[in-house]
Amino acid sequence: MLDVRDTVKSVDLESVMLSYPLASGAELRALEPWRAAEFFAFIVRAREHLAPWIPWATSITDVDGARRWLKHCAEEQARDEGRIYGIWLDGELVGGVVFQAFRARAGVCEVGAWLAPEAEGRGLVTAGVRRMVEWAFEERGMARVEWRTEPANLRSIAVARRLGMTREGLLRQVFRFHDGRRDLEMWSLLDSEYRTPSVGGVAV
């Protein structure tokens, strides 16, 4: 008879306990402060690609800065106000997804994401955000998941569309960036749309 202890021994314990499969060779794991060096190495590799859209891609300039950022995210998670996860592809950190706002009492949260250029085009962020959306609605009873993006960020808009989100409008000058303020489009998915995709919600 199969002994469950043998099964557990034969697989990597971290994979069992702390990761979520996204696709072949790709997984989502908590991105915690102890991974600061790995996160900083990722930023250095992907900086040029991320810098036009993501402020921390420029403002984090060393491992200590990466650790401070991940500690800030961990503190937000401890307050139930945010969460950050990395995306690993064939063992290498290639991106991430985040609840950059999580207001449990209000039932509203905002998701964001990023990828290294070599990891684009495989559906990894769509799968990762879909898992975040599922968790927000199913386990946390949220009413609304938001996605904010610049009008020029066509790949980001495509993610929102793929998730069945609706464009609600433009938030003028809402985003403070290094070089000034920027407009952001507001996209969202409601719990009712998630549960009834034909109403315009997520295509699963």
Ligand X SMILES: CC(C)(COP(=O)(O)OP(=O)(O)OC[C@H]1O[C@@H](n2cnc3c(N)ncnc32)[C@H](O)[C@@H]1OP(=O)(O)O)[C@@H](O)C(=O)NCCC(=O)NCCS
> In whole angstroms, how close is the CB of 86 to ligand X at the nearest point?
13
Q: What's the half-sphere exposure (Cβ side, CA atoms, 13 Å) at 179?
A: 6
Nearer CB in complex with ligand X: 36/89? 89
Binding residues (CB under 6 A) for ligand X: these are 49-50, 53-54, 112-115, 120-126, 149, 153, 155-156, 158-159
> In whole angstroms, how close is the CB of 52 to ligand X at the nearest point?
8
Please tell me the distance from the alpha carbon of residue 43 to that of residue 78, in angstroms, as a whole number: 24
> In whole angstroms, how close is the CB of 6 to ligand X at the nearest point?
34
Nearer CB in complex with ligand X: 105/109? 109
* CB-based contact 148:184 (threshold 8 Å): yes
Nearer CB in complex with ligand X: 12/147? 147
> In whole angstroms, how close is the CB of 107 to ligand X at the nearest point?
22
Please tell me the distance from the alpha carbon of residue 85 to that of residue 181, in angstroms, as a whole number: 27
Nearer CB in complex with ligand X: 35/122? 122
Nearer CB in complex with ligand X: 43/124? 124
> In whole angstroms, how close is the CB of 114 to ligand X at the nearest point?
4
What residue type is 188 in one-letter code? S
* CB-based contact 15:27 (threshold 8 Å): yes
Residue nearest to ligand X (CB): 123
